[in-house]
Amino acid sequence: MSVDVSASETIDAAARHAIAPSRGKRPWTFYLLAALFTLYVLALYGPMICIYILSFQDVRGGLVFPMKGHSLHWFVDLFTQVRTGDVKGSFDRSIKLAVIVTIITVVVSFLAGLGFRRRFRGDAVVFYMMIGSLVAPGLVLGLGIGLLFQWLGIDASWYTSALGAQLSWTLPFGVLVMFAVMSRFDDAWEEAARDLGASRWQTIWLVVVPVLAPGLVAVALFGFTLSYDEFARSLQTAGSLNTLPLEIWSMTLNVTSPSLYALGTVTTIISFLIIGASLGTIVFIQKRRGARVASH
């Protein structure tokens, strides 16, 4: 995803003017688009920042401004009150489920990415099956999985039916990301490894996986957040115990207090911790690789 904005030295001033190169006066469209971008970012973050602020009200707090006092009351309320439901339990389940989904998504997407590099008989069928799985309405698929389990006499639960329902959504995303990652992978590295006598598994473990590592972290990040936030497909498949999005959903129907906002603040903090850890992993991998290259 490189963004190359260096303009050629040879083009004249007028041309430079028209396509926003590295020097010269900005065209009027720059200011127009910059204004649009600023407005978009404001609309993107504004509402969310509002609820983060409102979640720190005291016991008199309501759903709208002005803010009434400051306290952590609604965070305590979130985890202690029975009427807000089983936030802690559903949170635990969601995290566990997201970790399982992430691991399966990374492994299966990686293998599928390798497989799709070359044509094989029926590859289009698999490809369109994947696209179909991606665009199928979540609630419809959820109902289908629910009925299927009912007919087979298996109890629906978050770690069986909901796990499968979520994979039918995270895997197509993962494989699409792998497509983009694989398109930048040079097959010559693999060939070189084979020429030097590496076995098929050695080639994959020692060459392909390390080269694709940042892409695999991206797939993991996708898998985790898509699962952690998955709602429609889990609704009919989670069984008797809720996942966090289902819990949030039932709260939006029952709870009309800033507890809801406190939950928003907590889930956002968790998300940021996960992004931070993932970006940290990518930086660490690249640094180590840089150090290894430098030492040779």
Partner 1 sequence: MASSHIALHKMPGKPGTAGWLYVLPLVLVLLPFFVAPILVVLAASFFGTDGFGGLTPDFTLSNYTEVLSSTLTLSLYLSTIKFTVLTWFFTLLIGFFVAYFLVFHVRNPLLAIGLFLVCTVPFWTSNIIRMISWIPLLGKEGLINEALRATGIIHQPLEVLLFSDLAVVIAYVHQLTIFMIVPIFNAMARIDKKLVEAAVDAGASRLDVMRLIIVPMSKSGIALGTIFVVSIVMGDFFVVKVMSGGGSASVVSAFYEDVGVLQYPMAAASAVLLTLVLLGLISLILRTVDIRREITR
Residues 200-229 that bind partner 1 (CB under 8 A): 225, 229
CA distance 72 to 76: 6
Long-range contacts, stretch 23-27, CB < 8 angstroms, 24+ apart: none
Tell me, by CB under 8 A, how many residues bind partner 1.
Answer: 107
Q: Residue 16 or 73: which CB sits closer to partner 1? A: 16
Minimum CB separation from partner 1 for residue 80, in Å? 20
Return all residues near 85 (Cβ < 8 A) that are at least 6 apart: 242, 247, 250, 251, 254
Decide: is 2 part of the binding site for partner 1 (CB under 8 A).
yes
Q: Residue 128 or 284: which CB sits closer to partner 1? A: 128
Q: Residue 55 or 73: which CB sits closer to partner 1? A: 55
CA distance 5 to 14: 17
Decide: is 41 part of the binding site for partner 1 (CB under 8 A).
yes
Footprint of partner 1 on residues 81-100 (CB under 8 A)? none
Decide: is 239 part of the binding site for partner 1 (CB under 8 A).
no
Taking CB under 8 A as the criterion, the residue among 56, 245, 257, 259 binding partner 1 is: 245
CA distance 33 to 140: 40
Footprint of partner 1 on residues 104-123 (CB under 8 A)? 104, 107-109, 111-112, 114-123
Q: CB-hemisphere CA count at 13 Å for 211?
A: 18
**125 with 208: CB under 8 angstroms?**
no
Report which DSSP code applies to 63.
S
Which two tokens mark 248?
Answer: 């949030």
Taking CB under 8 A as the criterion, the residue among 106, 216, 220, 260 binding partner 1 is: 260
Minimum CB separation from partner 1 for residue 230, in Å? 10
Look at residues 124, 98, 222, 245 and name the one whose alpha carbon lies nearest to residue 171: 222
Minimum CB separation from partner 1 for residue 236, in Å? 7
168 alpha carbon, distance to own chain's centre: 15
Footprint of partner 1 on residues 116-155 (CB under 8 A)? 116-124, 126-127, 129-141, 143-145, 147-148, 151
Return all residues near 135 (Cβ < 8 A) that are at least 6 apart: none
Taking CB under 8 A as the criterion, the residue among 71, 157, 271, 281 binding partner 1 is: 271
Taking CB under 8 A as the criterion, the residue among 13, 34, 206, 277 binding partner 1 is: 34
